[in-house]
Amino acid sequence: KKYYLLYRNFEYVENQTNDAILAKRFYNHMNYFKNEMITHIEKQFNQKNNKENRYFRGVSNGADFGLSLLNKYPDLIGTYLCFSAVGSNSSKTWEQDIRYPNLYMIYGIEEGEWVSKENEYMKKVYAESNSFAHINSFVGGHDYRIWNAELIKLLTKLFSTNK
């Protein structure tokens, strides 16, 4: 299958391209996120600047960006919420001797077999590295309404004082 990416997609998905401008878009975005945005937000909102207090949420290409970020910088953010990641996680190098950040992933069973395979692959990566992952599917497709409902349920569970 052939997929056409919009210009904005190149900042979220690590991709090989011959276009000189697009080739750097992903790495520039990742460096901005890692080196500037997190520091700015923590300073602006007087937040503790440590891994355990940082959460990342991404959907679709944003979820792929999160998985790339946790793969390249596992000590940056403590918990990732990645919904309907549609990238190429199985093509990344995943280490077995690294403890990866906590990962919560959901995906729709109607999003396609390749999405299911990628999410199942992440279960394997996390099991082999002895890291915590909670990866589930839902009935449905690539749908922001489901992502929003699942986010509310997950945040309620994560931040509930009645655990």
pLDDT tens per residue, the chain (163 residues)? 545 556 667 777 777 677 777 778 888 999 999 999 999 999 999 998 899 999 999 999 899 999 999 999 999 999 999 999 977 777 888 998 999 999 999 999 999 888 888 899 999 999 999 999 999 999 999 999 999 999 999 999 999 987 5
Q: State residue 87's pLDDT score.
A: 72
Q: State residue 7's pLDDT score.
A: 67
Q: State residue 8's pLDDT score.
A: 67
CA-to-CA dists, residue 124 to 51, 96, 128, 155, angstroms: 24, 10, 6, 24
Q: State residue 55's pLDDT score.
A: 96
- 3-class SS of residue 108: strand
Q: State residue 163's pLDDT score.
A: 58
Q: State residue 91's pLDDT score.
A: 80
User: Model's pTM, two decimal places?
Assistant: 0.89
Q: State residue 18's pLDDT score.
A: 76
Burial of 96 (0-12, 13-18, 19+ CB in 10 A): exposed
The CA-based angle 91-92-95, given to 5 degrees, is: 130
What sign does the CA torsion over 114, 76, 156, 152 have? negative
Strand order, beta sheet including 102-108: 55-59, 79-83, 102-108, 133-138
Contact 90, 124 (CB under 8 A): no
